[in-house]
Amino acid sequence: MYTKSELIEQMSEQITDIIKEASEFTNDINEVQDTTNELIWDMINNSQFVIYTHKAKEISKTINLYDAFDTSDITGERFADWSQVAFENLYAFIYNEIDVATLIETTLNNK
């Protein structure tokens, strides 16, 4: 199981790689932000923490923003399974704990 600081470090590295990929063909910050947000969504959706139920439960326990009895802020519906809980936990965790906008600016400035 990961600690929150380990998750922040791991996710920040993955997001920096995503930003580099998103900015490969453009320096337009709006395009990079849009592409980065789409790729973060895909990264979470394809994560082992979302795909495997036991990992979904572990990551949800670690992040602890949502549990199986909560309602999704994204869909407004009650969670149907642990994968949905894990997705929402990871999504909220990333955007609450990692300054994606600053990562984008830093990456574009270092190109």
> pLDDT band at residue 27, thresholds of 50, 70 and 90?
confident
For residues 104 and 16, the answer to whether their CB atoms sit within 8 Å is no
Residue 64 per-residue DSSP state: -
d(CA 56, CA 49): 5
Check residue 58 and give its pLDDT: 96
Check residue 1 and give its pLDDT: 75
Place of tokens 């910050």: 29
pLDDT at residue 2 tops 90 = no
pLDDT at residue 111 tops 80 = no
Question: Considering the entire predicted model, what is its pTM?
Answer: 0.92
d(CA 66, CA 70): 6
68-86 mean pLDDT: 95
Using a pLDDT cut of 70, give the percent of the chain over it. 100
